[in-house]
Amino acid sequence: MTGSKIARYRITHRTSYNYGAVVNQSFHVLRLSPRVVDHQSIIRHRLSTEPRFEIKPYRFDLFGNPFNLLQIESDHNLLVVTSETEIDVTPPPTIDLAATSDWRNLIDGGGPLGQLNDGASVSQYAANSRHGRRLNQLADYARPSFPEGQPILLGVRDLTRRIFEDFAFDPTATDVSTPVETVLELKRGVCQDFAHLQISALRSLGLPARYVSGYILTHPPEGQERLQGADASHAWVSVWAPETGWVDFDPTNNMVPHNEHITFAYGRDYDDVAPISGVLLGGGAHSVGVSVDVAPQKLDDQT
| Mean pLDDT, the chain cut into blocks of 10 residues (303 residues total) | 74 96 94 94 96 92 94 94 97 93 83 61 90 96 97 98 97 93 96 97 96 91 62 93 94 95 96 94 90 90 45
Q: Is the distance from CB of 43 to CB of 87 less than 8 angstroms?
A: yes
CA distance 36 to 267: 14
| Torsion, Cα of 277, 171, 178, 271 (10° steps) | -30
Count how many residues are written for the chain: 303
Q: Is the distance from CB of 217 to CB of 294 less than 8 angstroms?
A: yes
pLDDT of residue 303: 41
* DSSP letters spanning 33-69: SPPP-TTEEEEEEEEEEES--PBPPPEE-TTS-EEEE
pLDDT of residue 70: 96
| Torsion, Cα of 224, 212, 259, 106 (10° steps) | -140
All structural domains of the chain: 7-90+275-297 (2.60.40.2250), 97-273 (3.10.620.30)
CA distance 146 to 101: 12
CA distance 48 to 42: 18
CA distance 118 to 262: 18
CA separation, residue 71 to residues 52, 68, 277, 284 (Å): 12, 10, 12, 19
pLDDT of residue 3: 45
CA distance 294 to 94: 25
Q: Is 104 helix (H, G, I), strand (E, B) or coil?
A: helix
CA distance 244 to 95: 8
